[in-house]
Amino acid sequence: MKKLLVASTSTIYGSGYLEYLLPTLQSFFVNVKTILFIPYARPSGITYTEYTKIAKNAFAKIKIDVVGIHEFENPKEAILKAEAIFTGGGNTFELVNQLYKNDVLLTLKNVLENGTPYLGTSAGSNICGINMMNTNDMPIVYPPSFTTLGCIPFNINAHYLDPIVGSKHKGETRETRIKEFHVFNTMDVLGLREGSWLEVNGDEIILKGDLTARLFQQHKKPVEIETGMPL
């Protein structure tokens, strides 16, 4: 049975890395001693080692060790043997590119479908959807496919931003971009605001956090999903 935490972000304003999620993570990863970290998204271009150290320092606060997938000679075997898995944020194009390059996307999907606990933040949450086409990231590399894990039956737009009233910025809003997506694609898109996350247990998906999420469906008006509500 799937057991996922799909978070919009790793860090909220005024808080350290994963700090706002630590109480939830402590109960979610109960009895887990070591988490396998997938650092492929490389935020700001940092190395896998640097990124893994950041995750390690955060999880040390709840007495859980972290080991990077790049430290293993066989990444598939690392995923198959993992007690739990965390995929961090960064650039979704590069994350998906490396999952395909290392031939671990299907392996990761299979272990998650079979119940290995998983945390995704930002790009690591984007890949939980049907495809990665609602990422906000620049296409710095060209992955073999935009198809991702499909562990939830819709796409995620992480870091979802509402239009700022009175702003003089004339660029496209997130809602505008998602409307453009829906001209050619039928799958639903969930705009997940900062500090919000989804708890997935089997087929049950519940919105958590203090803020609502915005659900976009083709040919329909967007609707607000209240925290605590199932999707």
Q: Are 122 and 8 in contact (CB under 8 A)?
A: yes
For the chain, which residues make up each domain, given as ranges? 3-161+189-213
pLDDT score, position 101: 98
List pLDDT tens digits, range 174-226.
999 999 999 999 999 999 999 999 999 999 999 999 999 999 999 999 999 99
Q: Are 196 and 208 in contact (CB under 8 A)?
A: yes
List pLDDT tens digits, range 8-33.
999 998 899 999 999 999 999 999 99
Residue 65 has pLDDT above 90, yes or no: yes
- DSSP-derived secondary structure for 56-118: HHHHHTTT-EEEEGGGSS-HHHHHHH-S-EEE--S-HHHHHHHHHHTT-HHHHHHHHHTT--E
What are the residue numbers of the active site? 122, 137, 159
Q: Is the pTM of this model over 0.85?
A: yes
> Cα angle vertex 131, ends 181, 39, to 5°?
125
Q: To the nearest whole number, what is the mean pLDDT of the chain?
A: 96
Q: Average of pLDDT values for 124-149?
A: 98
Residue 165 has pLDDT above 90, yes or no: no
19-33, 101-115, 158-172: which has the minimum mean pLDDT? 158-172
- The share of the chain scoring above pLDDT 90, in percent, equals 94
Residue 164 has pLDDT above 90, yes or no: no
For 3-161+189-213, CATH number?
3.40.50.880
pLDDT score, position 170: 67
